[in-house]
């Protein structure tokens, strides 16, 4: 059919209008939308919104904003931005009063969350603005039409989000944020999401999924983390520690379900692993560290009182506890009695994730021992527990290393749970403990322990402080067997100290004085041992120590030992000959042979002169750490003394001055005031550290080398007279911690042993096989004392 020309013209006009009007609408609606959004954004949102350009297609329901920026309220700081935001609407469904967003895509978003105290975020104003209460009367609300709003297929691509806590001064961010959700229909309660992101600083990724019922607040999630950097902990630590650094990373694979309204309504399975944990004074000075901590859960459900754990394993833990003149390393870090933690916890405005997490874990585990619990494997491997005490006049240090703790399967339903503890003690000794406990009653347990091969000289810092007499010989063995039922104790404890021997008194103004030679005389029996049985009974709150064996042994020694003086003198003589034949001991800072050793030195020189084919090798065993500590103290006290006596500067130093300086206590208040006045470094809590700040390492090393050279020269001088000095050879010095607590020369013979030494060996063998020493022959043999035949 052929249309008239006039009709064709009208059809073309109508068609042109139908094309031009939508085109013009699309062309102009986009800039108009941009204009209206930017103009009225503050009025309706409280924030300025800007963008580069907008594209709106009202016919397809497609909206696109390019380089969108949303600013903070009343600020020119950006709250949220994105390179592109695209939204698609289902236009046709609006007719049926259903508002549906079919797709939301946000590319390269950047967002900032700011916390200004608990529950006060930089987006709180938006929540309050758009969550106004419905003022419609309740009676009319039932008849109010339900708005059907669907939002589907939400995606966030490659986002970066920042978090700032203004009170705690925490700044953190995550990157490579990807988020995907199928969305939610208006008549559904459940919202599900998938997510992944990377740590903003350092290594690590995290991904998983999360589902929540918006009506009941039931939830479930799966989280997988790989070497995720936990550096944010360091920032929260700043509020509760005075100094220190932290680092660690996290591996995790967790599945959990629960309800936000009830923290105990939680069922969790999976594994948490913390790696390369370091916490301490500096990156190189740890107070606490470990290689790996594994916490694997079969099922944990506090509401059902169920704690089923596959394993709790700690690998290579290290813990250092140091005691200072004032406080210790834990309290200097966290404040006296944890005052910093208490202060932050008591502040209602402040949020600290460490404290909140601690409260949460405490709440979850508070019913642990009242619940049904099971741990298949509990172990600590290659532990290292160190204790340093700087509160005495010299450093005391002991180290439980390597420490192993293991338990068989721990089951609340099991009869008894067995624990085994085994550790070496550095520098010398060992510990073993076998324990069993009733899992249904914590005051029903057995303990069998043994502390062995511990040199009594290890405790010299305390012995010097409280008696003025260090020990240079003696080994401690301590065993016990405890049975506790319903808190009632039945125990046997055996203390054995083999061959204890005190040295001469060290005079110092800070040291107390107890005549240890007299004390040792009364408590050491004829076999040259201190051997006590000390039972303990009563209950755990008020134990009773039975010391009748101590009393009877002391009384026995008072009346019996005088009768055995010739025997004990013979033993002491033979021991002295053997010991001096193989070792020459040096007191701290002693540089010359003492009168007591001169007779032996003459005898040794004559032995070489009479035996031309014999020679000896000297191997200096240097207690370098302790020797340098004594030199450090002396040089620091000397500098202090010279500051008070300027006339001594320039060569007027005398032996009397040295003796006076020796007697000055390193704990002297005026001396410490002098050290503090010249302190140039922070975080120095020990006298040793303060003296090191005053005295150079070069000077200490020079004095130490000079001391050793003087000892060598004085030793060799005894052989020059007999002309046998060429048969004295010095091996390279060895830096050790001596078993008997003092540096010494180890003497090795080449050729026949001296006759007097062979005779002494023969007599000692006979004496050790006779009463009362025969009883302790095996104990002496297993100790492997330093004084042995070469």
Q: Which residue ranges make up each domain of the chain?
A: 1-131+142-188, 213-375, 406-546, 567-783
Is 772 in a helix, a strand, or coil?
coil
Among 84-93, 151-160, 555-564, 572-581, which range has the highest average pLDDT? 151-160
**pLDDT band (50, 70, 90) for residue 121:** confident
> What is the predicted pLDDT for the residue at 86?
94
> What is the predicted pLDDT for the residue at 323?
95
Residue 620, pLDDT > 50, answer yes
- Relative to beta strand 728-730, strand 543-545 is unpaired
Mean pLDDT of 542-567: 79
Sign of CA dihedral 597, 602, 607, 612: positive
Measured at the alpha carbon of residue 470, what is the angle toward residues 468 and 471, in degrees to the nearest 5?
150
For residue 362 the two structure tokens come to 């405490």
> What is the predicted pLDDT for the residue at 4?
65
> What is the predicted pLDDT for the residue at 1?
53
pLDDT tens-digit readout, 408-455? 788 877 778 889 999 999 999 999 999 998 887 878 899 999 999 999
**pLDDT band (50, 70, 90) for residue 124:** confident
Q: Which of 501, 323, 467, 469 is nearest to 395 (CA)?
A: 323
Of 91-95, 188-192, 742-746, 772-776, the range with the lowest mean pLDDT is: 772-776
pLDDT, mean over the chain:
87
Which helix H or strand E contains 493, and what residues bound it?
A: strand 488-502
Residue 790, pLDDT > 60, answer no
Q: Where are the alpha helices (DSSP H) in 165-301?
A: 232-237
> What is the predicted pLDDT for the residue at 401?
93
- In this predicted model, which residue has the larger pLDDT, 737 or 137? 737
pLDDT tens-digit readout, 286-323? 999 999 999 999 999 988 888 899 999 999 999 999 99
- In this predicted model, which residue has the larger pLDDT, 385 or 519? 385
> What is the predicted pLDDT for the residue at 176?
95
Instruction: Return the percentage of the chain with pLDDT > 70, whole number.
Output: 92
> What is the predicted pLDDT for the residue at 494?
94
Residue 21, pLDDT > 70, answer no
Of 168-182, 544-558, 561-575, the range with the lowest mean pLDDT is: 561-575
Q: Which of 550, 554, 433, 530 is nearest to 475 (CA)?
A: 530
- In this predicted model, which residue has the larger pLDDT, 399 or 61? 399
- Please confirm whether the linkage preceding 402 is cis (ω < 30° from 0): yes
Of 104-108, 363-367, 500-504, 599-603, the range with the lowest mean pLDDT is: 363-367
> What is the predicted pLDDT for the residue at 785?
46
Sign of CA dihedral 629, 670, 663, 638: positive
Q: Give dist(CA 390, CA 252) in Å, integer.
A: 41
Of 22-26, 161-165, 496-500, the range with the lowest mean pLDDT is: 22-26
> What is the predicted pLDDT for the residue at 142?
53
Measured at the alpha carbon of residue 592, what is the angle toward residues 590 and 593, in degrees to the nearest 5?
110
pTM for the whole thing? 0.85
pLDDT tens-digit readout, 195-230? 999 999 888 999 999 999 988 999 999 999 999 999
- In this predicted model, which residue has the larger pLDDT, 653 or 726? 726
> What is the predicted pLDDT for the residue at 787?
35
Residue 271, pLDDT > 50, answer yes
N-terminal to C-terminal alpha carbon distance within the chain: 130
> What is the predicted pLDDT for the residue at 650?
60
- In this predicted model, which residue has the larger pLDDT, 411 or 706? 706
Mean pLDDT of 229-238: 89
**pLDDT band (50, 70, 90) for residue 106:** very high
- Residue 505's contacts (CB-CB under 8 Å, 6 or more residues apart) are 468, 469, 513
Residue 145, pLDDT > 70, answer no
Instruction: Return the percentage of the chain with pLDDT > 90, whole number.
Output: 47
CATH C-level class of 567-783? alpha beta
Residue 25, pLDDT > 60, answer no
> What is the predicted pLDDT for the residue at 115?
86
Residues constituting the chain: 790
Residue 393: DSSP 8-state: S
Sign of CA dihedral 168, 171, 175, 179: positive
């Amino acid at each position: 059919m052929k249309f008239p020309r006039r009709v064709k013209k009208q059809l073309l006009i109508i068609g042109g209008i139908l094309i031009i009007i939508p085109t013009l609408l699309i062309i102009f609606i986009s800039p108009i939308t941009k204009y209206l959004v930017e103009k009225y954004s503050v009025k309706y949102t409280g924030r300025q919104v800007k963008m580069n350009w907008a594209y709106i297609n009202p016919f397809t329901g497609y909206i696109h904003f390019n380089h969108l920026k949303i600013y903070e309220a009343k600020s020119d700081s950006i709250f949220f931005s994105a390179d592109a935001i695209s939204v698609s609407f289902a236009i046709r469904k609006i007719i049926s009063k259903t508002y549906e967003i079919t797709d939301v895509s946000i590319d390269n978003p950047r967002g900032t969350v700011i916390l200004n105290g608990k529950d006060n975020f930089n987006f709180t104003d938006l929540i309050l603005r758009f969550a106004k209460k419905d003022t419609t009367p309740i009676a009319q609300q039932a008849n109010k039409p339900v708005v059907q709003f669907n939002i589907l297929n939400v995606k966030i691509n490659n986002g970066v989000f920042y978090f700032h806590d203004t009170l705690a001064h925490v700044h953190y961010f995550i990157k490579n944020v990807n988020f995907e959700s199928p969305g939610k229909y208006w008549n559904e309660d459940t919202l599900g999401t998938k997510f992944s992101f990377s740590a903003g600083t350092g290594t690590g990724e995290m991904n998983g999924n999360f589902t929540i019922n918006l009506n009941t607040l039931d939830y479930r999630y799966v989280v997988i983390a790989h070497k995720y950097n936990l550096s944010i902990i360091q920032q929260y630590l700043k509020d509760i520690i005075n100094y220190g650094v932290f680092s660690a990373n996290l591996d995790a694979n967790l599945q959990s379900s629960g309800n936000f309204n009830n923290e105990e309504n939680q069922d969790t399975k999976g594994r948490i692993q913390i790696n390369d944990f370091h916490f301490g004074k500096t990156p190189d000075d740890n107070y606490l560290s470990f290689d790996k901590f594994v916490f694997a859960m079969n099922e944990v459900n506090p509401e059902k009182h169920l704690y089923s754990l596959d394993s709790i394993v700690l690998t290579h833990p290290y813990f250092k506890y140091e005691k200072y003149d004032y406080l210790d390393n834990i309290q200097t870090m966290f404040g006296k009695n944890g005052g910093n933690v208490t202060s932050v916890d008591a502040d209602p405005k402040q949020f600290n994730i460490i404290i909140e997490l601690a409260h949460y874990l405490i709440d979850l585990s508070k019913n642990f021992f009242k619940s049904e619990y099971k741990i298949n494997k509990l172990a600590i491997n290659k532990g290292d527990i160190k204790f340093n005490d700087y509160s005495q006049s010299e450093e005391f240090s002991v180290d439980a290393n390597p420490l192993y703790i293991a338990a068989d399967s721990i089951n609340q339903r099991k009869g008894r749970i067995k624990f085994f503890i085994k550790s070496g003690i550095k520098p010398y000794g060992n510990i073993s403990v076998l324990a069993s406990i009733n899992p249904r009653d914590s005051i029903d347990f057995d303990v069998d322990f043994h502390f062995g091969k511990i040199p009594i000289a290890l405790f010299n810092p305390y012995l010097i402080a409280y008696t003025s007499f260090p020990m240079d010989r003696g080994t401690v063995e301590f065993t016990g067997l405890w049975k506790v039922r319903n808190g009632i104790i039945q125990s046997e404890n055996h203390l054995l100290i083999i061959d204890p021997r005190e040295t001469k008194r060290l005079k110092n103004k800070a040291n107390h004085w107890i005549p240890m030679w007299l004390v040792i005389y009364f408590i050491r029996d004829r076999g040259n041992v201190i051997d006590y049985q000390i039972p303990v009974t009563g209950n755990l709150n008020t134990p009773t120590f039975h010391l009748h064996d101590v009393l009877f042994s002391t009384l026995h020694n008072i009346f019996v030992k005088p009768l055995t003086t010739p025997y004990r003198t013979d033993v002491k003589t033979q021991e002295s000959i053997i010991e001096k034949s193989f070792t020459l001991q040096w007191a701290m800072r002693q540089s010359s042979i003492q009168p007591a050793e001169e007779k032996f030195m003459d005898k040794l020189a004559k032995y070489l002169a009479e035996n031309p084919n014999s020679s000896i090798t000297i191997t200096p065993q240097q207690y370098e750490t302790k020797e340098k500590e004594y030199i450090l103290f002396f040089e620091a006290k000397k500098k202090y003394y010279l500051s008070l006596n300027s006339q001594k500067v320039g060569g007027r130093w005398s032996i009397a001055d040295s003796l006076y300086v020796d007697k000055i206590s390193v704990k002297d208040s005026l001396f410490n005031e002098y050290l503090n006045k010249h302190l140039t470094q922070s975080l120095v809590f020990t006298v040793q550290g303060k003296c090191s700040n005053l005295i150079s390492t070069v000077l200490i090393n020079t004095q130490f080398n000079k001391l050793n050279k003087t000892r060598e020269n004085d030793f060799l001088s005894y052989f020059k007279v007999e002309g046998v000095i060429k048969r004295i050879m010095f091996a390279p010095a060895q830096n050790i911690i001596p078993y008997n607590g003092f540096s010494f020369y180890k003497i090795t013979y080449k050729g026949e042993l001296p006759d007097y030494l062979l005779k002494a060996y023969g007599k000692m063998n006979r004496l050790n096989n006779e009463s009362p020493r025969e009883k302790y022959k095996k104990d002496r043999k297993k100790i492997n004392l330093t004084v042995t035949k070469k």
